[in-house]
Amino acid sequence: MEIGIVGATGYGGVELFRLLNGHPEVKTIKLYSSTQSGEFFQEIYSHVNNEEYVLQELAPEQMKEQLDIIFLATPAGVSSELTPQLTGGKGKVIDLSGDLRLKDREAYTNWYKNEAATEEIIEQSVYGLPEWNKEEIQSAEIIANPGCYPTATLIGLGPVLNKQLADPSRIIIDAKSGVSGAGKKASPVTHFANTQENFRIYKVNQHQHIPEIEQQLLRWDADAEPVTFSTHLVPMTRGIMSTIYVDLKASHSLDELVDLYQQTYQDEPFVRVRKAGEFPCTRDVYASNYCDIGLALDERTGRLTIVAVIDNLMKGAASQAVQNMNLVLGLNETTGLTHISLYP
Ligand SMILES: NC(=O)C1=CN([C@@H]2O[C@H](COP(=O)(O)OP(=O)(O)OC[C@H]3O[C@@H](n4cnc5c(N)ncnc54)[C@H](OP(=O)(O)O)[C@@H]3O)[C@@H](O)[C@H]2O)C=CC1
Ligand SMILES: CC(=O)N[C@@H](CCC(=O)OP(=O)(O)O)C(=O)O
């Protein structure tokens, strides 16, 4: 397979490079940059230490005929412009940004403050959450890779929402992310001096992942209502923990709920549900494609606490994109992704 990575110089791009470099079905990797074409990739990332890789200028006409898969690891607002130029040839597009995820184009403009992709592109795009949408992904031409927070949150909420066991008007999601979630470019907020020994909430009730989460909840439960979603920056490099609170409509035991989660995900190679009373931490999934889940039931309030952890750059971005690539190419979903988490 010949693969292209647009935005290879960014965090999502270099993580894709790492995974594709060890993928048994990938023969050629081409790296594209809008600002640094002609440079050796190893000049930007010394750990690559390989002179073979030189950043190239984007050439959409050539790329769409030559490449089997084109990953877009570019900021929001870029993929909506690039995707029409890259589709219609041999290559399939997998976009890591939020540009192609929302079916409601007006909602996209409101939340992302960018112009939405064309209706035709949005219609063609398939939301790439493999645990819930495998068949559609397998026949997609364009895949909208889910956001990092939505990945953890939706895998956590899916089993109870899909069975309509939770009150869909009272969902609260309290999520935390490591700093690499903000990308490569440093800002005053992500500056070391402002993140280490610090903990902050941000984008309160304004996060661009809110409509993405709500869109999927509505697919599971037509009565789903707006959610409360808070995001926090944690002084660590990788990892997301989404702690979700739902009110159960009827009484269930914790064992029944753990059983429901285990059964729902029994054929999903990358979701691991803990035994009752056990909880995952972000280290458990560090540098892996796993999403680990733990549950707690408060019998006094009838409230279920769902804890879901992922690595934001992996299951939240690059490795989920490779999982989607495997599906769309008809490969085993786990190809090139079977390594366990990095520890310590
Ligand atoms: N970081 C994360 O944990 C996650 C990120 N995402 C999303 O994935 C995408 C990539 O994220 P991330 O890698 O962190 O971002 P980075 O900011 O680290 O990298 C983005 C790259 O995009 C390239 N780029 C910027 N502007 C343009 C342009 N106009 N045309 C083409 N390329 C451009 C840049 O490379 P160059 O200058 O070389 O072209 C840059 O290195 C974003 O949309 C992000 O929101 C999704 C889930 C998780
Ligand atoms: C820590 C941090 O800043 N995280 C980013 C995640 C951005 C992202 O993944 O954006 P899209 O999914 O919309 O492309 C944020 O909260 O905005």
Domain 2-145+317-328 has CATH 3.40.50.720: yes
335 pLDDT band, cuts 50/70/90, is very high
Convert the pLDDT of each residue in 246-271 to its tens digit. Answer: 999 999 999 999 999 999 999 999 99
Instruction: Say if the ipTM goes beyond 0.95.
Output: yes
Place of tokens 């739902």: 246
Instruction: State the average pLDDT over residues 232-254.
Output: 97
Boundaries of every domain in the chain: 2-145+317-328, 149-310
State which ligand 2 atom lies nearest to the alpha carbon of 203: 16
> What pLDDT score was predicted for residue 328?
98
- Token pair, residue 281, equals 């931490």
State which ligand 2 atom lies nearest to the alpha carbon of 97: 14
Instruction: State the average pLDDT over residues 14-35.
Output: 98
23 pLDDT band, cuts 50/70/90, is very high
Angle at 296 between CA 295 and CA 301, to 5 degrees: 140
**Global confidence as pTM:** 0.98
Q: Which residues contact 291 (CB under 8 A, 6 or more apart)?
A: 131, 151, 152, 155, 156, 270, 271, 272, 285, 308, 309, 310, 315
Pairing of strands 142-144, 92-95: parallel
Spell out a b/e string for 213-248, using b for 16 or more CB atoms within 10 Å of the CB, else e: bbbbbeebbeebeebebbbebbebebbbbbbbbbeb
Convert the pLDDT of each residue in 80-110 to its tens digit. Answer: 999 999 999 999 999 999 999 999 999 999 9
* Amino acid, single-letter form, for residue 157: L
DSSP for residue 339: P
By annotation, the residues acting in catalysis are: 148
Q: Which of 110, 113, 177, 179 to mutate to test the pocket of ligand 2 (most atoms within 8 A of CB)?
A: 177
- One CATH from 2.40.260.10, 3.90.79.10, 3.40.190.10, 3.30.360.10 for 149-310: 3.30.360.10
Q: Which residues line ligand 1 (CB under 6 A)?
A: 6-7, 9-13, 33-36, 73-76, 78, 96-97, 147-148, 180-181, 183-185, 312-313, 316-317
Convert the pLDDT of each residue in 175-214 to its tens digit. Answer: 999 999 999 999 999 999 999 999 999 999 999 999 999 9
CA 272 to ligand 2 center in whole angstroms: 24
Burial-class residue 253 by CB neighbours within 10 Å (0-12, 13-18, 19+): exposed
Share of the chain above pLDDT 70, in %: 100
> What pLDDT score was predicted for residue 58?
98
Convert the pLDDT of each residue in 125-170 to its tens digit. Answer: 999 999 999 999 999 999 999 999 999 999 999 999 999 999 999 9
> What pLDDT score was predicted for residue 19?
98
State which ligand 2 atom lies nearest to the alpha carbon of 316: 9
Convert the pLDDT of each residue in 273-323 to its tens digit. Answer: 999 999 999 999 999 999 999 999 998 999 999 999 999 999 999 999 999
CA 205 to ligand 1 center in whole angstroms: 24
